[in-house]
Amino acid sequence: MAEDMQKLHLTICRGPSCGVMGSDALVAWCADLNAAGLPVSHEICGCTGNCTEAPVIELDGRYVTEVSPEKLTEILIERGIS
C-alpha cells in the first residue's frame, strides 16, 4: 500500500538551462505519478549552478544531473516505489 512506501520528494530546477533541457517533463512525471497515488512529490527551485549538466534535481540533499523521466523511474524502482 502507498502508506507503507518510502516517499520520494524531488526539488526540480526550473532555471533557464534546465527548462530548455526538459525540466517540464520531470515536473509532469512527478504530477502523473502523484495523481496515480504514488508517494512522489516535488517542488521547484531556481538555478542550482549546475547548468552544464541540466536538467538538475536535488534528492536527499544531493544534486542529480542530466535527469530524464527514465532516470527518475530507475530511482523509483531502486527505492521500491512502483
| Residue nearest to ligand FES according to CB distances in the complex | 15
16 binds ligand FES (CB under 6 A): yes
Q: How far, CA to CA in Å, does 17 sit from each of 51, 62, 76? A: 6, 19, 25
Cell of 3: 502508506
26 binds ligand FES (CB under 6 A): no
Show Cβ contacts of residue 62 under 8 Å, excluding neighbours closer than 6 positions.
none
- Shortest approach of ligand FES to residue 59 CB, angstroms? 14
Residues near ligand FES (CB under 6 A) are: 13, 15-18, 47-51, 54, 56
